[in-house]
Structure 1
Protein backbone atom coordinates (compact mmCIF):
# COMPACT_ATOMS: atom_id res chain seq x y z
CA UNK A 1 0.00 0.00 0.00
CA UNK A 2 1.36 3.43 -0.94
CA UNK A 3 2.02 6.02 1.73
CA UNK A 4 0.70 8.83 -0.48
CA UNK A 5 -2.80 8.15 -1.75
CA UNK A 6 -5.78 10.23 -2.72
CA UNK A 7 -7.96 11.83 -0.06
CA UNK A 8 -11.34 13.22 -1.09
CA UNK A 9 -12.83 16.18 0.77
CA UNK A 10 -16.18 17.85 0.12
CA UNK A 11 -16.53 21.62 0.49
CA UNK A 12 -19.76 23.24 1.77
CA UNK A 13 -20.60 24.05 -1.88
CA UNK A 14 -20.61 20.35 -2.76
CA UNK A 15 -17.30 20.44 -4.65
CA UNK A 16 -15.20 17.30 -4.25
CA UNK A 17 -11.49 18.02 -3.82
CA UNK A 18 -8.99 15.27 -4.58
CA UNK A 19 -6.02 15.82 -2.28
CA UNK A 20 -2.80 13.82 -2.18
CA UNK A 21 -1.51 13.49 1.41
CA UNK A 22 2.25 13.77 1.81
CA UNK A 23 4.01 10.73 3.23
CA UNK A 24 6.83 10.33 5.71
CA UNK A 25 9.68 10.83 3.26
CA UNK A 26 8.48 14.15 1.79
CA UNK A 27 7.53 15.54 5.20
CA UNK A 28 10.79 14.34 6.72
CA UNK A 29 12.84 16.19 4.11
CA UNK A 30 10.72 19.31 4.62
CA UNK A 31 11.38 19.10 8.37
CA UNK A 32 15.14 18.82 7.84
CA UNK A 33 15.12 21.89 5.59
CA UNK A 34 13.16 23.89 8.16
CA UNK A 35 15.43 22.63 10.95
CA UNK A 36 18.48 23.86 9.05
CA UNK A 37 16.84 27.28 8.53
CA UNK A 38 15.88 27.58 12.19
CA UNK A 39 19.38 26.61 13.29
CA UNK A 40 20.87 29.18 10.94
CA UNK A 41 18.63 31.90 12.39
CA UNK A 42 19.46 30.77 15.93
CA UNK A 43 23.20 30.87 15.29
CA UNK A 44 22.87 34.33 13.75
CA UNK A 45 20.99 35.60 16.81
CA UNK A 46 23.55 33.96 19.12
CA UNK A 47 26.41 35.82 17.45
CA UNK A 48 24.47 39.09 17.57
CA UNK A 49 23.53 39.00 21.26
CA UNK A 50 26.58 37.06 22.47
CA UNK A 51 28.24 40.18 23.91
CA UNK A 52 25.23 41.29 25.96
CA UNK A 53 25.92 38.92 28.85
CA UNK A 54 22.89 37.70 30.83
CA UNK A 55 20.56 39.94 28.88
CA UNK A 56 21.79 38.40 25.66
CA UNK A 57 21.25 34.92 27.08
CA UNK A 58 17.65 35.86 27.96
CA UNK A 59 17.04 37.16 24.44
CA UNK A 60 18.51 33.92 23.08
CA UNK A 61 16.09 31.83 25.14
CA UNK A 62 13.11 33.86 23.92
CA UNK A 63 14.33 33.53 20.33
CA UNK A 64 14.68 29.76 20.71
CA UNK A 65 11.14 29.50 22.11
CA UNK A 66 9.67 31.51 19.24
CA UNK A 67 11.60 29.58 16.60
CA UNK A 68 10.60 26.24 18.07
CA UNK A 69 6.87 26.90 18.52
CA UNK A 70 5.82 29.82 16.32
CA UNK A 71 8.06 29.46 13.25
CA UNK A 72 5.69 26.88 11.63
CA UNK A 73 2.51 28.71 12.69
CA UNK A 74 3.55 32.03 11.12
CA UNK A 75 4.33 30.42 7.77
CA UNK A 76 1.29 28.12 7.74
CA UNK A 77 -1.01 31.12 8.10
CA UNK A 78 0.40 32.78 4.99
CA UNK A 79 -1.17 32.36 1.57
CA UNK A 80 1.21 29.49 0.78
CA UNK A 81 0.11 27.66 3.97
CA UNK A 82 3.57 26.14 4.26
CA UNK A 83 6.94 26.64 5.88
CA UNK A 84 9.94 27.18 3.58
CA UNK A 85 10.80 23.48 3.85
CA UNK A 86 7.30 22.44 2.84
CA UNK A 87 7.33 24.90 -0.05
CA UNK A 88 10.57 23.39 -1.35
CA UNK A 89 8.96 19.95 -1.25
CA UNK A 90 5.72 21.21 -2.82
CA UNK A 91 3.58 20.70 0.29
CA UNK A 92 0.96 22.75 2.12
CA UNK A 93 -1.23 22.43 5.23
CA UNK A 94 -5.02 22.40 4.86
CA UNK A 95 -8.03 21.48 6.97
CA UNK A 96 -9.64 18.05 6.56
CA UNK A 97 -12.28 19.75 4.40
CA UNK A 98 -9.62 21.05 2.01
CA UNK A 99 -10.18 24.65 3.21
CA UNK A 100 -7.30 26.91 4.38
CA UNK A 101 -5.90 26.08 7.79
CA UNK A 102 -7.21 28.20 10.67
CA UNK A 103 -5.01 29.91 13.30
CA UNK A 104 -6.37 27.66 16.05
CA UNK A 105 -5.73 24.50 14.04
CA UNK A 106 -2.20 25.58 13.10
CA UNK A 107 -1.37 26.41 16.71
CA UNK A 108 -2.82 23.11 17.93
CA UNK A 109 -0.96 20.92 15.44
CA UNK A 110 2.35 22.58 16.23
CA UNK A 111 1.99 22.62 20.01
CA UNK A 112 1.25 18.88 19.89
CA UNK A 113 4.59 18.19 18.25
CA UNK A 114 5.66 17.52 21.84
CA UNK A 115 3.33 14.50 21.86
CA UNK A 116 4.62 13.37 18.46
CA UNK A 117 8.19 13.52 19.77
CA UNK A 118 7.72 10.84 22.48
CA UNK A 119 9.44 8.57 23.33
CA UNK A 120 12.19 10.21 21.24
CA UNK A 121 12.96 11.51 17.75
CA UNK A 122 9.26 11.86 16.79
CA UNK A 123 8.65 8.16 17.40
CA UNK A 124 4.91 8.50 18.07
CA UNK A 125 4.44 10.82 15.09
CA UNK A 126 6.28 8.46 12.72
CA UNK A 127 4.25 5.45 13.87
CA UNK A 128 1.01 7.41 13.39
CA UNK A 129 1.99 8.52 9.88
CA UNK A 130 2.97 5.00 8.84
CA UNK A 131 -0.20 3.52 10.32
CA UNK A 132 -2.68 5.86 8.64
CA UNK A 133 -3.40 6.09 4.91
CA UNK A 134 -3.67 9.89 5.16
CA UNK A 135 -0.24 10.08 6.88
CA UNK A 136 -1.50 12.16 9.79
CA UNK A 137 0.61 12.60 12.89
CA UNK A 138 -0.95 13.09 16.32
CA UNK A 139 -0.99 16.87 15.96
CA UNK A 140 -2.90 16.61 12.68
CA UNK A 141 -5.46 14.27 14.24
CA UNK A 142 -6.11 16.69 17.10
CA UNK A 143 -6.25 19.79 14.89
CA UNK A 144 -8.18 18.25 11.98
CA UNK A 145 -5.46 19.18 9.49
CA UNK A 146 -3.79 17.46 6.58
CA UNK A 147 -0.42 17.97 4.86
CA UNK A 148 -0.88 17.54 1.11
CA UNK A 149 0.99 18.07 -2.13
CA UNK A 150 0.10 21.49 -3.53
CA UNK A 151 -0.30 20.39 -7.14
CA UNK A 152 -2.51 22.66 -9.22
CA UNK A 153 -5.95 21.22 -9.97
CA UNK A 154 -7.77 22.06 -13.17
CA UNK A 155 -11.29 23.39 -12.66
CA UNK A 156 -12.51 21.80 -15.88
CA UNK A 157 -11.62 18.34 -17.13
CA UNK A 158 -12.68 16.30 -20.11
CA UNK A 159 -16.36 15.61 -20.59
CA UNK A 160 -17.22 12.03 -19.47
CA UNK A 161 -18.32 9.61 -22.17
CA UNK A 162 -22.06 9.42 -22.74
CA UNK A 163 -24.48 8.58 -25.54
CA UNK A 164 -25.12 11.85 -27.43
CA UNK A 165 -28.66 13.13 -26.93
CA UNK A 166 -30.33 16.07 -28.65
CA UNK A 167 -31.72 18.76 -26.35
CA UNK A 168 -35.46 19.26 -26.05
CA UNK A 169 -35.17 22.72 -27.58
CA UNK A 170 -32.52 24.88 -29.30
CA UNK A 171 -29.86 26.13 -26.88
CA UNK A 172 -28.40 29.62 -26.79
CA UNK A 173 -24.64 30.03 -26.85
CA UNK A 174 -24.69 30.82 -23.11
CA UNK A 175 -26.70 27.67 -22.34
CA UNK A 176 -24.31 25.55 -24.39
CA UNK A 177 -21.35 26.95 -22.47
CA UNK A 178 -23.10 26.26 -19.15
CA UNK A 179 -23.83 22.63 -20.07
CA UNK A 180 -20.25 21.93 -21.23
CA UNK A 181 -18.81 23.69 -18.17
CA UNK A 182 -21.00 21.59 -15.88
CA UNK A 183 -19.92 18.38 -17.63
CA UNK A 184 -16.25 19.34 -17.31
CA UNK A 185 -16.60 19.44 -13.51
CA UNK A 186 -17.73 15.84 -13.24
CA UNK A 187 -14.55 14.81 -11.42
CA UNK A 188 -14.69 17.77 -9.03
CA UNK A 189 -18.28 17.54 -7.84
CA UNK A 190 -19.76 14.87 -5.62
CA UNK A 191 -22.23 12.57 -7.46
CA UNK A 192 -25.11 13.99 -5.42
CA UNK A 193 -24.26 17.61 -6.23
CA UNK A 194 -23.55 16.71 -9.86
CA UNK A 195 -27.00 15.16 -10.29
CA UNK A 196 -28.68 17.98 -8.34
CA UNK A 197 -27.33 20.56 -10.78
CA UNK A 198 -28.38 18.38 -13.72
CA UNK A 199 -31.97 18.31 -12.49
CA UNK A 200 -32.05 22.12 -12.72
CA UNK A 201 -31.60 21.69 -16.48
CA UNK A 202 -34.66 19.43 -16.88
CA UNK A 203 -36.33 21.81 -19.40
CA UNK A 204 -33.55 21.23 -21.95
CA UNK A 205 -33.41 17.45 -21.55
CA UNK A 206 -34.92 15.43 -24.33
CA UNK A 207 -36.83 12.17 -23.84
CA UNK A 208 -35.05 9.36 -22.01
CA UNK A 209 -33.76 7.09 -24.79
CA UNK A 210 -31.83 4.70 -22.55
CA UNK A 211 -32.77 1.03 -22.29
CA UNK A 212 -35.58 0.76 -19.76
CA UNK A 213 -35.84 4.55 -19.46
CA UNK A 214 -33.98 4.67 -16.17
CA UNK A 215 -31.20 7.15 -16.98
CA UNK A 216 -30.51 9.81 -14.33
CA UNK A 217 -30.68 13.52 -15.05
CA UNK A 218 -26.88 13.76 -15.01
CA UNK A 219 -26.51 10.92 -17.55
CA UNK A 220 -29.01 12.57 -19.87
CA UNK A 221 -27.41 16.01 -19.55
CA UNK A 222 -24.00 14.49 -20.24
CA UNK A 223 -25.54 13.23 -23.50
CA UNK A 224 -26.65 16.78 -24.28
CA UNK A 225 -23.10 18.00 -23.55
CA UNK A 226 -21.73 15.46 -26.04
CA UNK A 227 -24.32 16.67 -28.58
CA UNK A 228 -23.31 20.32 -28.07
CA UNK A 229 -19.67 19.33 -28.67
CA UNK A 230 -20.68 18.00 -32.08
CA UNK A 231 -20.68 14.29 -31.32
CA UNK A 232 -23.60 12.46 -32.83
CA UNK A 233 -25.03 9.01 -32.26
CA UNK A 234 -25.86 6.71 -35.14
CA UNK A 235 -29.18 7.49 -36.78
CA UNK A 236 -29.69 10.78 -34.98
CA UNK A 237 -30.75 13.89 -36.85
CA UNK A 238 -27.84 16.13 -37.66
CA UNK A 239 -27.61 19.35 -35.66
CA UNK A 240 -25.28 22.25 -35.34
CA UNK A 241 -24.51 23.97 -32.02
CA UNK A 242 -27.43 22.27 -30.26
CA UNK A 243 -30.12 23.39 -32.74
CA UNK A 244 -31.82 20.94 -35.07
CA UNK A 245 -32.12 21.35 -38.82
Structure 2
Protein backbone atom coordinates (compact mmCIF):
# COMPACT_ATOMS: atom_id res chain seq x y z
CA UNK A 1 0.00 0.00 0.00
CA UNK A 2 1.30 3.43 -0.92
CA UNK A 3 1.76 5.86 1.92
CA UNK A 4 -0.07 9.15 1.77
CA UNK A 5 -3.25 11.01 2.74
CA UNK A 6 -6.36 9.33 1.35
CA UNK A 7 -9.32 11.67 0.89
CA UNK A 8 -12.94 10.64 0.53
CA UNK A 9 -12.69 10.05 -3.20
CA UNK A 10 -9.82 7.66 -2.65
CA UNK A 11 -7.06 9.93 -3.97
CA UNK A 12 -3.62 9.84 -2.36
CA UNK A 13 -2.03 13.25 -1.91
CA UNK A 14 1.74 12.87 -2.15
CA UNK A 15 4.85 14.40 -3.69
CA UNK A 16 6.99 11.67 -5.20
CA UNK A 17 10.76 12.12 -4.73
CA UNK A 18 12.82 12.32 -7.90
CA UNK A 19 14.84 9.22 -8.74
CA UNK A 20 18.60 9.05 -8.32
CA UNK A 21 19.13 8.92 -12.08
CA UNK A 22 16.93 11.97 -12.68
CA UNK A 23 18.73 13.97 -10.00
CA UNK A 24 22.09 12.90 -11.39
CA UNK A 25 21.14 14.00 -14.89
CA UNK A 26 19.93 17.35 -13.57
CA UNK A 27 23.16 17.90 -11.65
CA UNK A 28 25.23 16.98 -14.69
CA UNK A 29 23.33 19.42 -16.90
CA UNK A 30 23.74 22.14 -14.28
CA UNK A 31 27.46 21.55 -14.15
CA UNK A 32 27.87 21.48 -17.92
CA UNK A 33 25.63 24.42 -18.81
CA UNK A 34 25.95 26.78 -15.87
CA UNK A 35 29.40 25.81 -14.62
CA UNK A 36 31.08 25.93 -18.03
CA UNK A 37 29.61 29.31 -18.92
CA UNK A 38 30.42 30.89 -15.56
CA UNK A 39 33.93 29.46 -15.35
CA UNK A 40 34.73 30.62 -18.88
CA UNK A 41 33.39 34.09 -18.16
CA UNK A 42 35.30 34.41 -14.91
CA UNK A 43 38.57 33.12 -16.32
CA UNK A 44 38.46 35.28 -19.43
CA UNK A 45 37.30 38.31 -17.49
CA UNK A 46 39.89 37.75 -14.76
CA UNK A 47 42.78 37.43 -17.19
CA UNK A 48 41.69 40.55 -19.07
CA UNK A 49 41.31 42.50 -15.82
CA UNK A 50 44.70 41.45 -14.49
CA UNK A 51 46.47 42.30 -17.72
CA UNK A 52 44.88 45.74 -17.90
CA UNK A 53 45.27 46.64 -14.25
CA UNK A 54 48.69 45.01 -13.74
CA UNK A 55 47.69 43.87 -10.26
CA UNK A 56 50.02 42.14 -7.83
CA UNK A 57 50.03 38.40 -7.25
CA UNK A 58 48.26 38.76 -3.88
CA UNK A 59 45.41 40.70 -5.40
CA UNK A 60 45.21 38.14 -8.20
CA UNK A 61 44.70 35.37 -5.64
CA UNK A 62 41.95 37.38 -3.98
CA UNK A 63 40.22 37.76 -7.33
CA UNK A 64 40.35 34.03 -8.00
CA UNK A 65 39.14 33.17 -4.47
CA UNK A 66 36.19 35.52 -4.90
CA UNK A 67 35.49 34.01 -8.32
CA UNK A 68 35.56 30.50 -6.83
CA UNK A 69 33.12 31.45 -4.08
CA UNK A 70 30.81 33.02 -6.65
CA UNK A 71 30.85 29.87 -8.79
CA UNK A 72 30.43 27.36 -5.96
CA UNK A 73 28.04 29.26 -3.70
CA UNK A 74 26.78 32.55 -5.10
CA UNK A 75 25.45 31.30 -8.43
CA UNK A 76 23.64 28.16 -7.11
CA UNK A 77 22.05 30.16 -4.29
CA UNK A 78 20.87 32.89 -6.64
CA UNK A 79 19.44 30.49 -9.21
CA UNK A 80 17.61 28.28 -6.70
CA UNK A 81 16.23 31.26 -4.79
CA UNK A 82 14.93 33.13 -7.83
CA UNK A 83 13.58 30.00 -9.57
CA UNK A 84 12.09 28.51 -6.37
CA UNK A 85 14.19 25.37 -6.63
CA UNK A 86 14.43 24.93 -10.40
CA UNK A 87 17.87 25.27 -11.93
CA UNK A 88 18.62 24.71 -15.62
CA UNK A 89 19.25 21.00 -15.16
CA UNK A 90 16.26 20.48 -12.89
CA UNK A 91 14.01 22.32 -15.33
CA UNK A 92 15.17 20.09 -18.17
CA UNK A 93 14.66 16.91 -16.12
CA UNK A 94 11.27 17.95 -14.75
CA UNK A 95 12.20 18.11 -11.06
CA UNK A 96 12.16 20.79 -8.38
CA UNK A 97 13.73 21.20 -4.94
CA UNK A 98 11.08 21.76 -2.25
CA UNK A 99 10.98 21.86 1.54
CA UNK A 100 10.07 18.76 3.52
CA UNK A 101 6.55 20.16 3.92
CA UNK A 102 6.21 20.63 0.16
CA UNK A 103 6.65 24.41 0.14
CA UNK A 104 9.09 26.31 -2.11
CA UNK A 105 12.69 26.73 -1.00
CA UNK A 106 13.88 30.12 0.21
CA UNK A 107 17.25 31.84 0.46
CA UNK A 108 18.31 30.08 3.66
CA UNK A 109 17.56 26.64 2.22
CA UNK A 110 19.49 27.38 -0.97
CA UNK A 111 22.40 28.79 1.03
CA UNK A 112 22.69 25.70 3.24
CA UNK A 113 22.49 23.41 0.21
CA UNK A 114 25.21 25.38 -1.58
CA UNK A 115 27.56 25.55 1.42
CA UNK A 116 27.33 21.82 2.08
CA UNK A 117 27.59 21.23 -1.67
CA UNK A 118 31.09 22.73 -1.70
CA UNK A 119 32.28 19.61 0.12
CA UNK A 120 30.00 16.89 -1.19
CA UNK A 121 29.76 18.09 -4.80
CA UNK A 122 32.83 20.10 -5.72
CA UNK A 123 35.62 18.74 -3.49
CA UNK A 124 34.59 15.09 -3.88
CA UNK A 125 33.25 15.38 -7.46
CA UNK A 126 29.79 14.34 -6.29
CA UNK A 127 30.91 11.12 -4.60
CA UNK A 128 29.52 11.90 -1.14
CA UNK A 129 26.29 13.22 -2.64
CA UNK A 130 25.81 10.05 -4.71
CA UNK A 131 26.36 7.74 -1.74
CA UNK A 132 24.04 9.75 0.52
CA UNK A 133 21.29 9.93 -2.11
CA UNK A 134 21.38 6.18 -2.66
CA UNK A 135 21.16 5.52 1.07
CA UNK A 136 18.29 7.97 1.72
CA UNK A 137 14.65 6.98 1.11
CA UNK A 138 13.88 10.35 -0.51
CA UNK A 139 17.15 10.61 -2.40
CA UNK A 140 18.47 13.39 -0.20
CA UNK A 141 22.11 14.44 -0.25
CA UNK A 142 23.79 15.94 2.82
CA UNK A 143 22.79 19.46 1.75
CA UNK A 144 19.14 18.42 1.59
CA UNK A 145 19.30 16.79 5.02
CA UNK A 146 20.85 19.91 6.54
CA UNK A 147 18.43 22.28 4.77
CA UNK A 148 15.28 20.18 5.18
CA UNK A 149 14.65 19.84 1.43
CA UNK A 150 14.37 17.17 -1.26
CA UNK A 151 13.78 16.95 -5.01
CA UNK A 152 10.33 16.00 -6.34
CA UNK A 153 9.00 15.20 -9.77
CA UNK A 154 6.89 17.93 -11.35
CA UNK A 155 6.60 16.39 -14.79
CA UNK A 156 6.06 12.91 -16.12
CA UNK A 157 3.73 11.87 -13.31
CA UNK A 158 0.48 9.99 -13.52
CA UNK A 159 -1.91 10.93 -16.33
CA UNK A 160 -5.06 12.76 -15.22
CA UNK A 161 -7.71 10.38 -13.90
CA UNK A 162 -11.28 10.21 -15.14
CA UNK A 163 -13.69 12.13 -12.88
CA UNK A 164 -15.96 10.31 -10.46
CA UNK A 165 -19.62 11.10 -11.22
CA UNK A 166 -22.69 10.01 -9.31
CA UNK A 167 -25.00 7.88 -11.53
CA UNK A 168 -28.44 9.43 -11.42
CA UNK A 169 -30.12 6.03 -11.06
CA UNK A 170 -28.15 5.33 -7.85
CA UNK A 171 -28.26 8.79 -6.30
CA UNK A 172 -31.23 8.15 -3.97
CA UNK A 173 -29.82 4.80 -2.85
CA UNK A 174 -26.32 6.21 -2.22
CA UNK A 175 -27.68 9.10 -0.10
CA UNK A 176 -29.19 6.64 2.41
CA UNK A 177 -26.56 3.88 2.31
CA UNK A 178 -24.17 3.32 5.22
CA UNK A 179 -20.61 3.14 3.94
CA UNK A 180 -18.69 4.40 6.97
CA UNK A 181 -16.87 1.09 7.44
CA UNK A 182 -15.36 1.13 3.95
CA UNK A 183 -11.54 0.97 4.32
CA UNK A 184 -9.51 3.69 2.69
CA UNK A 185 -7.44 1.05 0.91
CA UNK A 186 -10.44 -0.31 -0.98
CA UNK A 187 -11.58 3.22 -1.83
CA UNK A 188 -8.12 3.96 -3.22
CA UNK A 189 -8.14 0.76 -5.29
CA UNK A 190 -11.56 1.66 -6.71
CA UNK A 191 -10.40 5.18 -7.60
CA UNK A 192 -7.32 3.86 -9.35
CA UNK A 193 -9.38 1.37 -11.34
CA UNK A 194 -11.89 3.98 -12.47
CA UNK A 195 -9.08 6.36 -13.37
CA UNK A 196 -7.47 3.91 -15.80
CA UNK A 197 -10.56 1.95 -16.86
CA UNK A 198 -10.59 3.52 -20.32
CA UNK A 199 -7.06 2.23 -20.99
CA UNK A 200 -7.80 -1.36 -20.00
CA UNK A 201 -8.87 -4.20 -22.22
CA UNK A 202 -12.65 -4.78 -21.99
CA UNK A 203 -12.23 -8.26 -20.47
CA UNK A 204 -9.74 -7.09 -17.83
CA UNK A 205 -11.82 -4.00 -17.08
CA UNK A 206 -14.96 -6.04 -16.46
CA UNK A 207 -13.17 -8.65 -14.37
CA UNK A 208 -11.40 -6.10 -12.15
CA UNK A 209 -14.53 -4.00 -11.67
CA UNK A 210 -16.61 -7.04 -10.73
CA UNK A 211 -13.99 -8.28 -8.28
CA UNK A 212 -13.54 -4.88 -6.62
CA UNK A 213 -17.29 -4.28 -6.38
CA UNK A 214 -17.67 -7.67 -4.67
CA UNK A 215 -15.01 -6.72 -2.12
CA UNK A 216 -16.59 -3.33 -1.39
CA UNK A 217 -20.24 -4.43 -1.22
CA UNK A 218 -19.98 -6.05 2.28
CA UNK A 219 -19.02 -2.63 3.68
CA UNK A 220 -22.08 -0.89 2.20
CA UNK A 221 -25.56 -1.36 3.64
CA UNK A 222 -28.05 -1.76 2.18
CA UNK A 223 -26.53 -3.18 -0.97
CA UNK A 224 -27.08 -1.60 -4.39
CA UNK A 225 -30.27 -2.29 -6.35
CA UNK A 226 -30.28 -5.61 -8.20
CA UNK A 227 -28.69 -5.47 -11.63
CA UNK A 228 -26.41 -2.51 -10.82
CA UNK A 229 -23.33 -2.41 -13.03
CA UNK A 230 -20.11 -2.85 -11.02
CA UNK A 231 -18.53 0.37 -12.31
CA UNK A 232 -21.70 2.34 -11.62
CA UNK A 233 -21.66 0.96 -8.09
CA UNK A 234 -18.04 2.08 -7.61
CA UNK A 235 -18.81 5.53 -9.00
CA UNK A 236 -21.77 5.93 -6.65
CA UNK A 237 -19.83 4.86 -3.55
CA UNK A 238 -16.85 7.13 -4.23
CA UNK A 239 -18.99 10.11 -5.22
CA UNK A 240 -21.12 9.77 -2.07
CA UNK A 241 -18.02 9.44 0.14
CA UNK A 242 -16.64 12.60 -1.40
CA UNK A 243 -19.83 14.56 -0.80
CA UNK A 244 -20.15 13.35 2.79
CA UNK A 245 -16.56 14.24 3.59
CA UNK A 246 -17.02 17.66 2.02
CA UNK A 247 -20.17 18.23 4.07
CA UNK A 248 -18.45 17.11 7.27
CA UNK A 249 -15.62 19.53 6.61
CA UNK A 250 -18.02 22.40 6.03
CA UNK A 251 -19.92 21.62 9.25
CA UNK A 252 -16.69 21.44 11.22
CA UNK A 253 -15.57 24.78 9.81
CA UNK A 254 -18.91 26.37 10.68
CA UNK A 255 -18.76 25.02 14.23
CA UNK A 256 -15.24 26.38 14.63
CA UNK A 257 -16.39 29.80 13.44
CA UNK A 258 -19.29 29.78 15.91
CA UNK A 259 -16.99 28.82 18.77
CA UNK A 260 -14.54 31.55 17.81
CA UNK A 261 -17.38 34.06 17.82
CA UNK A 262 -18.45 32.97 21.31
CA UNK A 263 -14.93 33.39 22.61
CA UNK A 264 -15.00 37.07 21.62
CA UNK A 265 -18.20 37.76 23.53
CA UNK A 266 -18.42 38.82 27.18
CA UNK A 267 -19.40 36.27 29.86
CA UNK A 268 -23.04 35.25 30.30
CA UNK A 269 -23.83 36.25 26.70
CA UNK A 270 -23.79 39.97 27.57
CA UNK A 271 -23.49 42.03 24.45
CA UNK A 272 -20.30 43.97 23.89
CA UNK A 273 -20.58 47.64 24.90
CA UNK A 274 -20.97 50.14 22.07
CA UNK A 275 -17.82 51.91 20.98
Residue 148 of structure 1: aligned partner: 152
Greater helix proportion: 2
Query: Which residue of the other structure, out of 18, 23, 26, is the alignment partner of 2:15?
Result: 18
Shift of 1:107: 0.9
**Cα pair distance change 1:214/1:48, threshold 3 Å:** farther
Tell me how large the CA RMSD over aligned residues is.
Answer: 4.3
SS in 2 for 1:66: helix
- Unaligned regions of 5+ residues in structure 2, if any? 176-190, 193-215, 223-234, 243-275
TM-score (norm 1): 0.56
In our comparison, the structure showing a higher alpha carbon Rg is 2
Shift of 1:43: 2.2
| Contact residue 108 and residue 139 of structure 1 kept, 8 A | yes
**Cα pair distance change 1:18/1:117, threshold 3 Å:** closer
Shift of 1:116: 1.9
The reply to whether residue 30 of structure 1 matches residue 47 of structure 2 is no
| Contact residue 7 and residue 21 of structure 1 kept, 8 A | no
TM-score (norm 2): 0.51
- Unaligned regions of 5+ residues in structure 1, if any? 1-5, 171-185, 188-208, 226-245
Separation (CA, whole Å) in 2 of partners of 1:80 and 1:101: 6
Separation (CA, whole Å) in 2 of partners of 1:35 and 1:118: 11
Separation (CA, whole Å) in 2 of partners of 1:221 and 1:7: 20
**Cα pair distance change 1:45/1:19, threshold 3 Å:** farther
**Cα pair distance change 1:212/1:104, threshold 3 Å:** closer
Between Structure 1 and Structure 2, how many residues are aligned? 180
Separation (CA, whole Å) in 2 of partners of 1:109 and 1:81: 11
Segment of structure 1 superposing worse, 129-138 or 19-28: 19-28
**Cα pair distance change 1:72/1:117, threshold 3 Å:** closer
**Cα pair distance change 1:63/1:219, threshold 3 Å:** farther
Residue 104 of structure 2: aligned partner: 100
The reply to whether residue 129 of structure 1 matches residue 123 of structure 2 is no
